[in-house]
Chains A and B, each alone.
Chain A
Amino acid sequence: MADNKFAAYICSGCGLGDKLDVGSLEKIAQKEGKMTVVKNHPFLCSASGVQMIKDDIANEGVTHLCIAACSRRAKTEAFNFPTAAVSRTNLREGVLWVVAEGSDHDEVRQEMAEDYVRMGCAEVKKMKLPEGNPNRDQAQNKRILVVGGGMSGMTAALAAAEAGYEAVLVEKTGALGGFAANLWKRVPFSSPYAEPQATGVEEMVAKVTGNTRIKLHLNTTVAETGGAPGRFTVKLARESGAVSDETVGAIVQASGFTPYDMAKLPELGGGQANVVDQAGLEALAKTANGGAIKRADGKIVTSVVFVQCAGQRDDTGTHLSYCSGHCCATSIKQAMYFKDANPDVDTVVMYTDLRVPGMGEDFYRSAQQKGVIFTKGKASKVTGGDSCKVEFSDLILDEQTSVDADLVVLATGQVANAGVNLDAWTEVNTAAEGGNEEAKVKRSGMKTISVLNLNYRQGPDMPQFKHGFADSHFICFPYETRRTGIYAAGPTRRPMDMLQATEDATGAAMKAIQAVENAAQGRAAHPRAWDLSFPSARLEGCTQCKRCTVECPFGAIDEDEKRFPVFNEQRCRRCGTCMGACPVRVISFENYSCDTVGSQIKAVNVPDEDEEKPRILILACENDAYPALDMAGVQRLSYSAYVRAIPVRCLGSVNTIWITDALNGGYDGVMMMGCKKGDDYQCHFVKGSEMAHYRMSKIGDTLKQMGIEPERVVTEEVAITDNARVAKLINDYAAQINDLGPSPMKGFG
């Protein structure tokens, strides 16, 4: 600490110097902020301004900088000083542009700027320069493990190998190819998208087996996975019982899908003679080998009906509620099997909405040219047997009718092979840990379907998002999962066809490469890319409450045998949800901790009650809410000058101590702004915003004990586009605080 030297640089450009008394800001930085060096510059982000700072770092030994200029989101390239700890004081977007114009507001504007300078100085005094994962030496492994040897898995392994990375490919059966190997042909993937094409599985298998960078394990499953990105240790179990260990840097899970079991569809003839699912038809087509397709009883099929959406898009809650995306094109392809062998075969595709993504429309047209009949209808009953009957309601002609056929094909959907459902797991595991013998048996049973067998505290597989798929957020983070360094590819992530699966697998391999490269440098990959900070815990203060291990959205924290948290640095995404959860505040990042924020809260000058100047603390998520605040400034939407905004990494990192500190210190209200939570969440850290809302719902009693009205603390969902709304939210809340009157805690702080 002796070598630390603190400096504040105040910019007077962008009109800051005209509206603010920069001289007095300098004095505050010096006297109250205790900055050794304080300088101002008329254009701080210019070459000369930046050089001034660089010179001070090089010549004066400055280690900690408080830059009082624009938002931390602006001029990031100019103000990039990798060897110094930097805090940014937002005088431009946060003060100048949002406080109403006019000399009436000069006083409050100056007070706001002075407080922000105090906060910036206080923050940087508590900061340390992040140096990355100190154990990065042990996270240097750059091999990629691919689980699943189907189309997705082989693509991922080849993509990694072609990019120069070693791949380990694990396949539980005795042969590569997966589901695709059982297909007669595939939906076309190249122009003119008119005819079924060869699957290309054999060529791909040859490429994989011939690639020296790919190590292949057939008849093998993953018995245990532990570690973190850059240092995963994986136990592989061969069918023969032999066990081998592999060390890898990242994992691609391409465990594929299982067709929805048609035995669950007795009303559609599931289980009856001459009613097959799409996989069953592929088998018949393979046997026919291009000739006339025969049924199981050997009869040549002269008429066939394809029933789309069988057990899919079901709103009764009995079957799959979603559309699997590939089945329309697959049925078109299969109808062509018949038409290509004999154009006189009657082929009817019965659909409610024909969905052919990609270039499928051309394929659909091609099938119509070949004479495949498309009937818009909903099948209500299928009777199998020597002559099958499909009863359906014709949705165009609005009538109940039926059609006879030799064979009926049910287009059932894709069910992800995503392993154990962690919600169910947690319940069983908790009971088992409590000594319940029945639960212990159930737990071992559950583990048999696990794909990765993670030894993580939160369970053996990746958390599932919707409908049992191992997705994280389809819109915002399509390639991410909720286990850092482990990427899902293909239909285990969301329903998809083969073309999408191969693209998906390539993307997953690229993400895996990012993960290992970042791990080797000890920094975060996503979404705080290249962040060198990581959490550390002062374990002597830890009460083993397990909140951090349970609440971490990414399962980054395990427990040792004494139930102390074990941080697996590279699994961490640096959101700080653990820091927000910790009741004894022992978890911190070098440059983001209970102290860095807490000292800012305390640095604010809270006026006395009779001055009638309330103070409102805003804790704003830096991903969405803080940019929205900045944008409000850019658009010159003014909001109350009584607010003091502090960006937080995620609302999940908000520790309740900050709220109580602020209220004890005489603040009149606290506003928290985070991302949308719930099923269609937008939180960058999945559960952070939800956790914050949950925690805040619990502090009402504490507030009442303090004699504070609960409505002084509010939590809002703010999207990045909410710039206009956020200004209104603040002003409405300020008016509400005004009505409530000064905080009863004022003057006691």
Chain B
Amino acid sequence: MSDLNTQAVARYKNNFLREVEERVEEGDMVKMCMQCGVCAGSCPLGPHWQHSPQKIFMMIRAGKREEVLTSDSMWMCTSCYNCIVRCPRQLPITHIMHGLANYAHRLGIAPKGQPTREFAKTFWNNLIKKGRVNELTLTLAHYFANGIGPGIQIALNMQKIGLGMVLAGRLNPMEIFGGHSVKDLNGFHAVLAKAKEIEDRKKGFSA
């Protein structure tokens, strides 16, 4: 278990709702849920979740910290916003789901190997390197995430599309050598560092 997680447990003891309110994006709206279940009924991926948003909110209130944060449910959200549109209490459910996923990831207890989480990590790492997404390295990193064999298989399957994109000028093969960056890469990294500092302060991670 990560240090951050141990600290959080110590800090909030049994009050998981307060932890969510303070540390999760829009977490202070969780208490406003009235358990009508419209979100659960509206979610297109409903049958594939372990816990519907309605249940996640109830679990938060019931203090089921471990179960919520290690759940893969919020990672299944496709951001269709059906639930937000329909929630009679106007909870920003989609945002809360992403907030929970983010928090679990931050604490290092999100489910390992969960595809959405893995791809998000790949995407983020690719993005912060040069301040922009390098389509080629991102694609390759994604293809080869599961090893060389499957990577080659996927790449062969996608060969035609890749070639078409190269010919149409939508994909530059030269980008494989690091690619180009945003104009002020140092400035970009400074922005990220500042944002993290602010967030850590706001959510009580620092000190």
- A626 interface hit (Cβ, 8 Å): no
User: A373–B32 contact, CB under 8 A?
Assistant: no
Q: Which residue of B lies closest to A370 (CB)?
A: B31
User: A373–B58 contact, CB under 8 A?
Assistant: no
Closest chain-B Cβ to A618's Cβ sits at a distance in Å of: 51
Closest chain-B Cβ to A378's Cβ sits at a distance in Å of: 14
User: B31–A354 contact, CB under 8 A?
Assistant: no
- A189 interface hit (Cβ, 8 Å): no
Partner of B34, one of A354, A373, A394: A354
- B140 interface hit (Cβ, 8 Å): no
Interface string of B35-76 (1 = CB under 8 A from A): 100000000000000000011001101100000000000000
User: A374–B62 contact, CB under 8 A?
Assistant: no
B62: chain A residues at CB < 8 Å are: 375, 394, 397, 401
Stretch from A164-172, A240-248, A361-369 at the B interface: A361-369
Q: In whole angstroms, what is the CA distance A364 to B32 when docked?
A: 9
Q: In whole angstroms, what is the CA distance A354 to B54 when docked?
A: 16
B61: chain A residues at CB < 8 Å are: 373-375
Q: In whole angstroms, what is the CA distance A368 to B35 when docked?
A: 12
Q: In whole angstroms, what is the CA distance A113 to B61 when docked?
A: 76
User: B58–A376 contact, CB under 8 A?
Assistant: yes
Closest chain-B Cβ to A266's Cβ sits at a distance in Å of: 27
Q: Which residue of A lies closest to B88 (CB)?
A: A361
- B20 interface hit (Cβ, 8 Å): no
User: B35–A396 contact, CB under 8 A?
Assistant: yes
User: B55–A397 contact, CB under 8 A?
Assistant: yes
- B93 interface hit (Cβ, 8 Å): no
B89: chain A residues at CB < 8 Å are: 365
A373: chain B residues at CB < 8 Å are: 17, 31, 61
Partner of A376, one of B31, B35, B59: B35
Number of interface residues of B (CB under 8 A): 12
User: B34–A364 contact, CB under 8 A?
Assistant: yes
B58: chain A residues at CB < 8 Å are: 375-376, 394, 396-397
Q: Which residue of B lies closest to A376 (CB)?
A: B35
Interface string of A378-399 (1 = CB under 8 A from B): 0000000000000000101100
User: B55–A368 contact, CB under 8 A?
Assistant: no
Closest chain-A Cβ to B67's Cβ sits at a distance in Å of: 9
Q: In whole angstroms, what is the CA distance A339 to B58 when docked?
A: 20
Closest chain-A Cβ to B54's Cβ sits at a distance in Å of: 6
Given contacts A373-B17, A375-B62, A397-B62, contact A368 B54 (CB under 8 A): no
**Chain A 62-99 residues near chain B, CB threshold 8 A:** none
Q: Which residue of B lies closest to A401 (CB)?
A: B62
- A647 interface hit (Cβ, 8 Å): no
- A196 interface hit (Cβ, 8 Å): no
Given contacts A396-B54, A396-B58, A397-B55, contact A371 B31 (CB under 8 A): yes
Interface string of A15-28 (1 = CB under 8 A from B): 00000000000000
B35: chain A residues at CB < 8 Å are: 374, 376, 396
**Chain A 695-746 residues near chain B, CB threshold 8 A:** none
Closest chain-B Cβ to A365's Cβ sits at a distance in Å of: 7
Given contacts A373-B17, A375-B62, contact A365 B55 (CB under 8 A): no
Given contacts A373-B17, A396-B54, contact A368 B59 (CB under 8 A): no
13 cross-chain CB contacts under 8 A: A365-B32, A365-B89, A374-B34, A374-B35, A375-B61, A376-B35, A394-B58, A396-B54, A396-B55, A397-B55, A397-B58, A397-B59, A397-B62
Chain B residues proximal to chain A, CB less than 8 Å? 17, 31-32, 34-35, 54-55, 58-59, 61-62, 89
Chain A residues proximal to chain B, CB less than 8 Å? 354, 364-365, 368-369, 371, 373-376, 394, 396-397, 401
Q: Which 4 A-B pairs give the minimum distances between C-beta atoms?
A: A396-B58, A368-B32, A376-B35, A368-B31
